Structure 1
Amino acid sequence: MGTPGIGRHCQVIRCERLSHPGGGSGIGRAVCQRLASEGASVVVADVNEMSANETLQSLPGDLKGQTHMAAAADVASKDSVKNLLTTIQARYFQPPSVCVNMAGITLDNFLLDMEEDDFDRVVQVNLKGSFLVIQGVAQALVACGASKGSIITVGSIVGKVGNIGQVNYAASKAGVEGLTRTAAKELSRFGIRCNCVLPGFISTPMTDSVPDKVISKMKALIPLGRMGEVAEVADVCAFLASDDARYVTGASLEVTGGLFMG
Structure 2
Amino acid sequence: MDKFYTKTKDEIEIMAECGQKLARVKKALFEKVAEGVSADDIEQLAVELIKKEGAEASFKKVPGYSWATCVNVNAGLVHGIPKKEIVFKKGNVVSVDLGLYFKGFNTDCSFSKGIDVNSDTEKFLNAGREALKKAIDATVAGNRVYDISEAIEKTVVSAGYSPIRALVGHGVGRELHEDPQIPCFLPGAKEESMEIPEGATFAIEVMYAQGGSALVQENDGWTIATQDGKISALFEETVAVVDGRPKVLTDFFG
Q: TM-score, normalised by structure 2?
A: 0.26
Q: Which has the higher helix share?
A: 1
